[in-house]
Structures are given as structure tokens and as C-alpha cells.
Amino acid sequence: MNTPVVVLGPTASGKSDVAMAAARAVADTEIVAVDAMQVYRGMDIGTAKPTPADRAAVVHHGLDLAEPADSFSVADYRAAYDSFRPTIDGHPLLVAGTGLYLTAVLDRLDVPGRWPDVRAALDAELDDGTDLDLLHTRLAELDPAAARRIERGNERRIVRALEVTIGSGRPFSSFGPGVAAFPATDAVLIGVRWPRAVLAARVATRVEQMIAAGLLMEVEALARRSLSPTARQALGYKELLDHLAGAVSLEQSVATIVARTRRFAVRQERWFRRDGRIRWFDIDCDPVAEVAPAVVEALRA
């Protein structure tokens, strides 16, 4: 199998545009979406899923793997990746926004099991008003090493670490070297990076475009269905669900989406910048013009 090339970066960085330009330039390139929310069917606009035209032009993998009602984990993604990866005869081009998923497939992360009853109890605590800080403090008592690596505002990772620690009876951090290890790899990792203020402006523009493209209608359709806790917490969806429930105005909802997405982009950048294997490109104005040639070169190598 050909060596993977990875284009990575925070949301709104332009990595998907870079990947599409490179894939069009190099025959037999197939794109693999490495994104925790693009796996859900029907969650298209808010996850910036590739357009039908892009998917018709270039074969894509890693999209629409689950219903929004399904619980979908990093282990599920790794299993799906392991099933479709051997089918890629050409050049695999991974587009990564979810660092944990990339680590799972690239570095063969030792993925813990799942304990639904424990997870349900933790989710119920949050629904009942338990502060996330208290859960982080509980994690620090049970697994200090994991707590040091997980930010207090990262609900998904805190809950997951507690689920594994409580359910398995062993610390979450004990499952191999985990995300702190960056072993040698044949894969070529290319990062797209903007000045933080510029990226913040790009995030605001992207959210405006999503609203104009019909994100509210997409969320209205999803609201009539059962949604898993993970899907319900997705950026853009949680805030608009709150609006549809009458909790906040549309203007307040959109402002919260922008603020949360900006914070998320900072967390993504922090995750990726620990990895010394990444060749970073600091963008001046056009990520496609400035990065795609390097991706094309890597695909053709």
C-alpha cells in the first residue's frame, strides 16, 4: 500500500481545499476524512463535509459511517479505517481535524473498550447540572496523569477518561503510551497554520456561511430524530438545538457557535503542535497556492 500523506490543521484553516486541489492534480488519489463529526449521516453543513461535487470528483472515505443516534467512538473509527484502508490502491490523502482519530489510525493507538452504563451515569450527572470542573477534579483523583493532559473545558475527553478509568478499573493513562508518543512513521504530515487572529476571523466567516447555507434547517431536521450525546454536542448543532428549544435567540446562538469554534480551533492547534513530525506551513493569504504544491510532491514521491 502507498504511504499516506496527511494534511492537518484546525477548523477553517483551509486544509480540505488544499486536499481537494492536490487530489485533483494527482491521479488515483483518494481522500480519507479524519473527523469525529463527519462520520454522522445528515450532519453535513455544520461539519463542513465535502460537497457532493467534491465527492463525485474524488473518492472519499470516512464519511457517513453512522446515524446521528449512534454512539461512535475512536475505536469505531479505527475499525472502519482498517476496513477501507486496504481498498485504496492509489494514493491515500488523509485530511485530519480530529487529532485523536489520526493518532489512532496512524500510530495504532491502544484503544480502550466501552462501558455504556458508566458513560450513561456520567452523562446523566452533566445533564443534572454537575459542573465539568468537578468531573475533572474527580479524574485528577483517579488518574492524575490523564487529568494533566486533558483541559478542564474538554467535556468529551474528560467523560471518556472517567468512563475508561471507572469501567476498566485501571487508569485511562495506562493504555499504552497513548497520545503523548510520536513514533517514527513513513507517513508525510503537512500542517496548515494561520496567525491566531486571522484564523478567528476565518471561523466567524465560516459560521456565517454555514447559517446562510441552511444550517438551521439541517438542525431542525435532526431535532426531529434521536441524537446521541456526541452528535448533540457537536459545534453548531448544540447551540442551534438550544435556540430551537427556546433557550436563546438565534443571534445569541450564532455568537456562541463562533466563540466555541474559536476555542476549539485553539485546542486543535495545541494538540497538533506537540507532534514534531509535522511540517508546518504558515499561511500568508492562500492555503491552496501555498500548501497544495507540497502535498502534490509528497503524493508523487
Furthest C-alpha separation in the chain: 54
Long-range interactions of 263-269: CB distance < 8 A, separation 24+: 263/153, 264/10, 264/11, 264/235, 265/10, 265/11, 265/12, 265/13, 265/199, 265/200, 265/203, 266/10, 266/196, 267/151, 267/154, 268/9, 268/10, 268/11, 268/97, 268/99, 269/9, 269/10, 269/193
Q: Report d(CA 121, CA 105) in Å as an integer.
A: 29
pLDDT tens digits, one per residue of 111-131: 788 899 999 999 999 988 889
**What confidence score (pLDDT) does residue 112 get?**
82
Q: Report d(CA 7, CA 187) in Å as an integer.
A: 11
Residues 57 and 191 in one domain: yes
Q: Report d(CA 243, CA 250) in Å as an integer.
A: 6
Average pLDDT, the chain: 94
List the beta strands (DSSP E) in the chain: 5-8, 29-34, 60-61, 91-96, 188-193, 278-282
Residues 143 and 254 in one domain: no
Q: Report d(CA 300, CA 297) in Å as an integer.
A: 5
Q: Tell me which range, 169-173, 186-190, 226-230, is most confidently predicted by mean pLDDT.
A: 186-190
Domain holding 166: CATH number? 1.10.20.140
**What confidence score (pLDDT) does residue 179 get?**
65
- pLDDT band (50, 70, 90) for residue 219: very high
**What confidence score (pLDDT) does residue 13 get?**
97
Q: Are 288 and 21 in contact (CB under 8 A)?
A: yes
pLDDT tens digits, one per residue of 47-106: 999 999 999 999 999 999 999 999 898 889 999 999 999 999 999 999 999 999 999 999
- pLDDT band (50, 70, 90) for residue 176: low
Radius of gyration, CA atoms only, the chain? 19
Question: Which residue range is the domain that position 242 belongs to?
Answer: 5-110+180-300
Query: Cell 468512563 identifies what position?
Result: 163
Residues 78 and 195 in one domain: yes
Q: Which of 15-19, 92-96, 228-232 has the lowest mean pLDDT?
A: 228-232
Exposure of 41 by Cβ count < 10 A (0-12 exposed, 13-18 middle, 19+ buried)? middle
Closest CA to 173 of 184, 157, 185, 154: 157
Residues 273 and 240 in one domain: yes
**What confidence score (pLDDT) does residue 163 get?**
97
Residues 283 and 255 in one domain: yes
- pLDDT band (50, 70, 90) for residue 189: very high
Residues 68 and 216 in one domain: yes
Q: How many beta carbons lie within 10 A of that of residue 171, not counting itself?
A: 16
Domain holding 186: CATH number? 3.40.50.300
